[in-house]
Copies of this chain bind each other. A is one copy, B any other.
Amino acid sequence: MIHSLDFSSSMNKHYNQMKKGILFVLIGFACTLKAQEPVHEAQIKTLYHQALTAGKSYDWLDHLSNKIGGRLSGSLNAERAVEWGKNELESLGLDRVYLQNVMVPKWVRGTFEYASIITGPGMSMNVPVCALGGSIATPSSGLRAGVVEVKSFEELERLGKEKIEGKFVFFNRPMPAELINTFEAYSKTVNQRTQGAAKAARLGAVGVIVRSLNLRLDDYPHTGSMRYGDLPNSMRIPAAAISTNGAQLLSSMLALNDDLKFYLKLDCKNFPDVPSHNVVGELKGSEFPDEIIVVGGHLDSWDLGDGSHDDGAGIVQSMEVLRLFKAMNYQPKRTLRVVLYMNEENGLRGGTAYAQHAKQNNEKHIFALESDAGGFSPRGFVFEATSSQFAQIESWKPYLTPYGVARFDLGGSGADIGPLRDDNVVLSGLRPDSQRYFDFHHAANDTFDAINKRELELGAAAMSSLIYLVDQYGF
């Protein structure tokens, strides 16, 4: 590492050069663009100091991840998380904490997921799979069939019913590694998971195996939502994800023997909707109480890991925003709300319900911020805003660049706040570094140990700073 400061007297020869190096560092810090208002600079510095030295987000996430755990919509854990969120927000002494009722889908993974590649009599290899969320089960004795590997829906259609009927379709298009933004790489491959089963079923496939949406080669299958759409019940087929290593293995085995068989057993099940809740906490505005600023993440998660990155991080960072304001006795001008949305993963019912309530009550939302891209080191924000709104936001950049939050882009903000979208509200999403996110996304390794305390806290501080500026200036 950089040892400019790491050598004492015996290194005198280099000492003056090193002093020069240190001086450069200090000049570098001093050269940072100055923000306009010293009072805002000072408030933001206090927010960061508090978040990094006396923050609560990490301890909260420890509880949510390790004491509650995975919390799929409709599960007992999801309701435990609702109760926990409500209790914690109440302990902050906010002006109001309440639940919003919402009906959510209930899908249960079951107790048994198993797959193997069968290359001959008595010759088989297990491969790591998991059911995709929403999938039906296989017959209780499992499914055994040949496999057709495809990279795209176009290739699937070209092969047609003749080649597909009675087979598993193996969707094996990898996330493109050359894309810098890993969410862009995800967007180019996720339709295999969401629509693959419906497309393959119409051509007579018996099931689908989807390469996990993971840029890394490893042994974790990654779940996530899939939908049959308007496909009749009788035509629906089971859908499983296979780990990236498993996908590589299956593909190379198929290259040797395209007549091999695949065995899959899933016992997941869809149930009727059940009641659940969004959790809402509020600090009343002192000057413009009717102007609402909302910050949130989603309380539900997939069931394989603890949902620490997706989206425990966003939950505790959003709670931390209001806690920090209380801790520093900051009285907001506008009404600040934190919302812990239910059911982002497989239905978006919470985000939809929140927006419906807002509309029914004629609430005026001016800004909505979502954190749902992992608890990694924050690099910027995206905004859905008019050009004049965005120009105003860009004028705030000098307040955040000293903290490494330097990228403000126009872009899609987040799923849960999407239903609030109209011509008046500015929507925004925190954008942490995206490189590691899909190593953990929807997989059993999305657990608390994958979270770095400082990075989580820096995200909370960045969100707090942005909310502070919106509260000060409005739009």
Contacts and interface: CB of A to CB of B under 8 A. Distances in A.
A69 to B, nearest CB: 18
Interface string A302-322: 000000001100000000000
Contacts of A269: none
A21 B418 contact: yes
A456 to B, nearest CB: 10
Given A22-B412, A410-B27, A374 B8 contact: no
Contacts of A165: none
A195 interface: yes
Interface string A1-41: 11111111111001001101110110111010000000000
A122 interface: no
B435 A454 contact: yes
A230 interface: yes
Interface in A366-385: 372-374, 377, 379, 382, 384
A406 interface: yes
A230 B8 CA distance: 10
A406 B403 contact: no
Given A17-B419, A384-B24, A373 B8 contact: no
Contacts of A48: 178, 180
Interface stretch (A151-159, A270-278, A436-444): A436-444
Given A4-B187, A183-B2, A418-B17, A406 B404 contact: no
Contacts of A143: none
Contact of A404 (B17, B180, B195, B229): B180
A67 interface: no
A452 interface: yes
A139 interface: no
Interface string A221-265: 000110101100000000000000000000000000000000000
21 contacts: A1-B373, A1-B437, A1-B441, A2-B412, A2-B414, A3-B348, A3-B415, A6-B190, A8-B195, A9-B230, A14-B419, A17-B419, A21-B412, A21-B413, A24-B382, A24-B411, A28-B409, A52-B178, A182-B454, A377-B433, A435-B458
